[in-house]
Structure 1
Amino acid sequence: LSPSGQQIPILGGVRLSGKIGNNNLGFLNIQTSRWDDIPGTNFTVLRLKRDIFQQSYFGMIFTQKTPATDSPINRVIGSDLTLSTSHFLGNQNVVFHTYYMKSLTGRHLPQNHSFRVFVDYPNDLFDNFFQYFEVGKNFNPEVGFVRRKDMRMFFGHIRFMPRPHLLNVRQLVFKIQGSYITDFNNILQSRFFEYRPLGFELHSGEEMEFNIQTDYERLDQPFNIFENISIPTGIYNMLRWEIQFSTNSSRPVSGELFWNWGEFYTGHSSELSLASQFRLNKYVSLSGDYRRTGANLAQGRFTTHEASARINVNFTTHLTTRLFVQWNNEDDEINFNFRLRWIPKLGSDVYLVYNTLQDTRLGRIRSKDHVLLLKFTYWMGM
């Protein structure tokens, strides 16, 4: 995609993936054509991974973006390690993971790295997770993206999930979760905590949870949240409440409810989300989602609506289709996506994808973009 979000034509590419013994290999190379003032560019990704022990691995990754002009080449190199076992303290699961990456674009710059380490303890009675994650202000992975730079984050959660053998309750869920984010000068940017005093799953498959959330946000720059409504700089402390409920998704008809409300920057907001799924038979399924957000701020009021629907038709296990439609009133656009997938043999795929974007502003529907894509994947055993 271009910086403005436009799709850039691809001249061609090649992808190779496979496994030999304990070694896994992935390779991707794509060449784009010139688009407006954006020169043709070559993208390369190389991924190596070696299985160690029974459930662990060590890996390396290399990416490169090579413009057709005299612009500097962007490279990223990194390594990662995962140590996992299901026999900790007898029969408990535990996972340790870490990675380190550095980027280089032209001359060397400090803080051009990303680092992450976590310990996960995902078990039936206790599910605990603790993580440290940092991204330097000059980390620049141009083959990919980074959501936030100049950041240090501590994150973790503790879940206690006893099975009370009471009435129709299969499992209770109590949780404490939090994140603490600073910049590299250790100035607090955001802090979020969520407490779950009540949550449960029934033997029938229904689930419910009630959460209390506290949120601290430091805004050094104002940002536009909807149309002409802007949130000013400052420090905001917000208290919010949340209820979630879902029915058994394996039933022919199932649904979900999400409701979150409370303080929101300079005022209050409420978010309501509804989702439903229908399995007409083993071949056809339908689903729909609707989300409404209403906010009353010192700078003004706004309401957003977002709706989507999916139709899945499985003619056979080797031939499937999917139609997805989405609309929201903020962009005033309808997105249609159709995908047909054919599996000629195990490991190989043929995709036919059609995507179109419709503008709904001014009370009428107007076509904006159309994309037709044909993709082949062929598996070769060695």
Structure 2
Amino acid sequence: MRTEGITGIASENDFTVARGKSGSCPIVPQSVLCMWSRDGDGSVLNNKGDDYNRTFAVDGRWGIGDETLITGWAAATDTPGLSGRDGAGGIDANYVSPEWNISAGYSQVGENFNPEVGFLQRRGFRKYTAGIRRSIRPNNLWGLHELRPHINYRGYWGFDGFQETGYLHVDNHWEFDTGMEIHTGMNFTQEGVREPFEIVNGVTVPVGEYEHEEGQFVFWTNQGAPLSINIRSNIGGFFGGDRVNVEPTLRYRTGEKFSTELSWSHSDIDLPVPGGDFEVDLARLRLSYSFTPRMSIQTLVQYNKRDDVVATNLRFAWLQSANAGLYLVYNEVDESGLGAPRRDAQQFIIKYSRILDLFN
């Protein structure tokens, strides 16, 4: 793939992706090797020899019996000017049976890991995860279909040993025969802030280590019914202060063709800093209509009340097989607010892909 350059802003680039898959390795029964490459023309850096990026990755899956699966991956990047700690990798083990679900994992991403052809949410960390869940189906108890007590943990540390994030979730899911479900949980959180940051305009969270507890409650009616309701709430500590978050969602569908979803997320936050008492509201409207099983149109409209911003996404899909086919996507972000003259950013994307069988 090739992209055009913008003088002084972005160079012209050639992108290459290569992928190979093997299912005959005796040690790892299924493995995949990938390579992503970007080659620029050097118009911005004024040096074509340094205008490139390479990413190499391999992953594998090893199933042991019917209930255990081990997955692992490793990756490295090659970027001019970056050396040392430019690798990443991880391993996960999962045991799943009708009654138990047990998992554990470890991963890390170096500070100089730089996959430019892709998306990297976080770098420079070590991550540990663990979880255990028990599924219990009682006989004639309060109309319950299943109980799912569980504990999950994830933690992030920097390479200097500083804990950046900790999240311990202790919960039980109460699923009833009617399809109604209730979740009653507690979360124990830890956030390590290395540098001050603005959580909203004019409100800064200072450097520090923040440990809190919060209660979590989830309720929903039968999601298989034409009309259903979902309510989620979190109440507890937040960066040295308090937070109350409530998110109701209303869903409606008619047959197999049309569905809609309307939700509103409200957060009332009180932090011990200047301007720290504020509210955040986000509304979402989703609409979906399927002309046929392979042809559909979907839209998502979001409104951020605090910043008075409206974002719209409209997507038309005409599929052939395995998600290959024609996609038309329109995105718009209107920062002028509801009812004001339009002042927005617009984007239109056309994508077509087709799977070819070259050997049959």
- Decide: shared fold, TM above 0.5: yes
Aligned residue runs from structure 1 range 208-247, under 5 A: 208-247=182-221
| C-alpha separation in 1, matches of 2:318 and 2:207 | 52
Root-mean-square deviation (Å): 2.3
Deviates more, 1:361-370 or 1:132-141: 361-370
SS in structure 1 opposite 2:192?
Answer: strand
Instruction: State the Cα distance separating 1:139 from its structure 2 match.
Output: 1.1
Question: Residue type of the partner of 1:82?
Answer: R
Which residue number in structure 1 is paired with residue 54 of structure 2? 75
List per-residue Cα deviations over 1:17-73 (Å, max 9, x = no partner): xxxxxxxxxxxxx43432652212222222212234899511111111212102342
List per-residue Cα deviations over 1:90-114 (Å, max 9, x = no partner): xx42110111111111256221110
1:181 and 2:171 matched: no
| C-alpha separation in 1, matches of 2:17 and 2:238 | 41
Give the length in aligned residue pairs. 348
Which residue number in structure 1 is paired with residue 35 of structure 2? 62
- Change in Cα spacing, 1:361 to 1:321, as seen in structure 2 (3 Å) is closer
1:290 and 2:270 matched: no
| C-alpha separation in 1, matches of 2:293 and 2:153 | 43
- Change in Cα spacing, 1:272 to 1:317, as seen in structure 2 (3 Å) is same
352, 357, 360: which one pairs with 1:381? 357
SS in structure 1 opposite 2:343?
Answer: strand
Which residue number in structure 2 is paired with residue 44 of structure 1? 16
Q: Is the 8 A contact 1:242 1:259 kept in 2?
A: yes
Aligned residue runs from structure 1 range 301-312, under 5 A: 301-312=277-288
Which residue number in structure 2 is paired with residue 328 of structure 1? 304
Question: Residue type of the partner of 1:34?
Answer: I
| C-alpha separation in 2, matches of 1:288 and 1:324 | 10
Which residue number in structure 2 is paired with residue 367 of structure 1? 343
| C-alpha separation in 1, matches of 2:19 and 2:175 | 40
Which residue number in structure 2 is paired with residue 204 of structure 1? 178
Instruction: State the Cα distance separating 1:253 from its structure 2 match.
Output: 0.9
- Change in Cα spacing, 1:161 to 1:31, as seen in structure 2 (3 Å) is same
Instruction: State the Cα distance separating 1:363 from its structure 2 match.
Output: 6.3
1:157 and 2:136 matched: no
Which residue number in structure 1 is paired with residue 85 of structure 2? 111
Question: Residue type of the partner of 2:209?
Answer: I
Q: Is the 8 A contact 1:200 1:209 kept in 2?
A: yes
| C-alpha separation in 1, matches of 2:281 and 2:210 | 25
SS in structure 2 opposite 1:173?
Answer: strand
Instruction: State the Cα distance separating 1:182 from its structure 2 match.
Output: 1.7
190, 209, 221: which one pairs with 2:165? 190
Moved segments of 4+, more than 3 Å: 52-56, 343-348, 360-363
Percent identical pairs in the alignment equals: 22
Instruction: State the Cα distance separating 1:124 from its structure 2 match.
Output: 2.1
